[in-house]
Structure 1
Amino acid sequence: MLYRLSIKLLKLKNSALLIGFAGFVLIASTLAYLLEPDTFESWFNSLYFVLTTMSTVGYGDYSPATTAGKVLTLFIYVFGIGLLSLVIGKIIDTVAEFHRRRETGQLRYQGKGHVIVINWSKKAQYAVEEILTTDANIEVVVIDEMAKHPYDKPNVHFISGDPSSLEILEQADLVNARSAILFADARIDEPTLVDGKSLLLASTIESVAPNVHTTVEIMMEKHIQNFRHIKVNDFVLSQDAVSRLAVRSALNEGSVDIFTQLLSRQRGADVYEVPIRPEWKTYEDAFLSLLRQGATLIANHSDMTINTKLNEPIPPNSKLFAICEKSGSSSIQNQS
């Protein structure tokens, strides 16, 4: 009978088991207090007695004096200890199942303002590390078809599945994401097929969440127009950056270190967006104000010629960028 009862208890849902455990404790505590009010003096003391008995601690500061109280204690011994062990086992199983599902990418992400990284590779790992270096509080969601979490860190969530699937994108909460970075699939050898898959994924992302900023790695320059057609925000030519940096190194010795600093926030200065202040009327106003704070104004959107037209007014909807240290960026942001 006890064996069959234990089998049935094991099959109970966690919620039902917890309700049953709470009910057992409350009923046993109430009976103990009703049977021996002089021994326990209060219902809380009887609750304390029941829990210490079930956990096999048994401090001995309270003990039943009547036969009825001792019979109830025997009942708690037989059933209560087993029930508590079952509850603890269920809790351990639930925690283990949670970690298993997290590791295998089966949990839905719940949050906002996160960055989604699609298709895992060494470049994707560097990107995640750079994101976390930039802001340790940013949450990153990695989507890939591999079976195990590729980068198990506290702020990195993993979802396993086809990133072109609407269900997988919903599981990553794409609509509430801050941005999405789509890397070329390194498991495909043919560059045209790689860009074809990236184009499919990018078009799916844009159809689901057109307001999410999307950056795509492209293998072949001739495919840029296709990505512009689906309104991808930014794209990076996979081999182009390496080739251009190599040429800079060959023709201008020492210049590569400058580009390296701008590409990484782990050391040196970086490019930051600068909030426009009401008192800035012209580019010169902004340039001189930022210069006094240790920053150099370099561009408005992608226009890097603004230092040749300092007397011109700053147009509406401008987006100014400056080069400065991270500490200088924080100061500029606080004063805006």
Structure 2
Amino acid sequence: MFYLIRISRKIIKLNNGFLVLFTAIFVLGSATLMYLIEPETFGMWFNALWYVMTTVTTVGYGDYYPKTVPGKLFAMLLYLFGIGLLSLVIGKIIDGFGTIKKRKEAGKLKYHGSGHVILIGWSRRAQSAMEELLHADPSLDVVVIDDLERSPVDRDRAYFVGGDPSAESTLETAGLTRARSAIVFSDRNIDDAALADGKSLLIASSLERLAPHIHTTVEIVLEQHIQNFRHVQVNEFILSHEAVSRLAARSALHAGSVSIFTQLLSSKVGEDVFEVRPRPEWKTYGDAFQGLLNLGATLIADRSDMTINRRLQDPMPEDARLFIICDGSTYERIRAAT
């Protein structure tokens, strides 16, 4: 019994891969040995394998059983050693799943997908952005990066990576180079606006250095700090406090206008903003405007240029990026036709 305990302790410490290999060799070897001991009883090697598997996993079905003394002695060895070995393997597998779950909750698992959106800095604003992204595109994955100890997300297609968001190792774990875009949210735990925007600048610099090809959006606290980002290729800026203040002012000046912005900002309600590819027959902005209007959509901009509706006779460049306002079903019809 003492030797069995020592052997068991050594087996428990074995590498998981080696343990699985050892178990497979043990089962196959036991089946071969049992068949050699009693070839008449089992008839073929596969029947011996069937007997070994049913013996180490259950009490056996009784369709095959050893009839000689050597066969019965070997069966007793299977009872003592085989059942315990297989139970250990199953326990290791279950423990492995538990370890994976713990690592996932701690944000230590590497994300292997591509075409995802990375949200840096967890907050209520980041949560709202995540919900909007997941609702707008059912095939999109979202990866959240923050230095929290446990994952704050519990949604399908939402993943968490823990660590310093400016560190290269953390960004690599989140699959930055394979991402579609990244959004940097201002750290609300920092009261000083300069320090908060400084942290955002540091993160944006890391994004630009490691993945200059992805679309980057950065939330900043003060508008005058945008010039400090001039050496970093940030695609778009969001002003956290000013945006709310300006919406409130618009509401006071033009009653009901806020509901229009709310519709455009949410894919859950009303109309949305979409990008469409130009068609060959659209030679001017007027052609595009009328063609889209006939399909139920309104052309509003070419990239950030919203003056095109006053220049409908101007020729449309080949690299135009047209933005329209319509509902989801209309957009799907337009996309299918282009």
TM-score, with normalisation over the residues of structure 2?
A: 0.97
1:87-124 Cα offsets, whole Å, 9 max, x none, are: 01100110000000000011111121111110111100
Q: CA deviation at 1:152?
A: 2.2
Tell me the secondary structure at the aligned position of residue 230 of structure 2: helix
State yes or no: 1:321 paired with 2:317.
no
Unaligned runs of 5+ in 1: none
* 2:173 corresponding residue in structure 1: 171
* 1:299 corresponding residue in structure 2: 301
State yes or no: 1:149 paired with 2:151.
yes
* 2:27 corresponding residue in structure 1: 25
Which residue of 320, 333, 336 maps to 2:335?
A: 333
Tell me the secondary structure at the aligned position of residue 323 of structure 1: strand
Q: CA deviation at 1:137?
A: 1.5
* 1:38 corresponding residue in structure 2: 40
Partners of 2:47 and 2:312 in 1: CA distance: 80
Aligned pairs (5 A) from 1:1-336: 1-336=3-338
Tell me the secondary structure at the aligned position of residue 239 of structure 1: helix
Q: CA deviation at 1:44?
A: 1.5
Tell me the secondary structure at the aligned position of residue 169 of structure 2: helix
Q: CA deviation at 1:277?
A: 1.0
Tell me the secondary structure at the aligned position of residue 299 of structure 2: strand
1:55-87 Cα offsets, whole Å, 9 max, x none, are: 124111111122221111111111000001100
Partners of 2:55 and 2:231 in 1: CA distance: 71
The residue type equivalent to 1:101 in the other structure is R
Tell me the secondary structure at the aligned position of residue 311 of structure 1: coil
Partners of 2:263 and 2:44 in 1: CA distance: 69
The CA RMSD over aligned residues, in Å, is 1.0
Q: CA deviation at 1:154?
A: 2.6
Runs (4+) off by over 3 Å:
none
The residue type equivalent to 1:218 in the other structure is I
Q: CA deviation at 1:181?
A: 0.3
Q: How many residues are treated as equivalent by the alignment?
A: 336
1:233-262 Cα offsets, whole Å, 9 max, x none, are: 001000111111111211211111110010
Tell me the secondary structure at the aligned position of residue 216 of structure 1: strand
Unaligned runs of 5+ in 2: none
Partners of 2:101 and 2:156 in 1: CA distance: 12
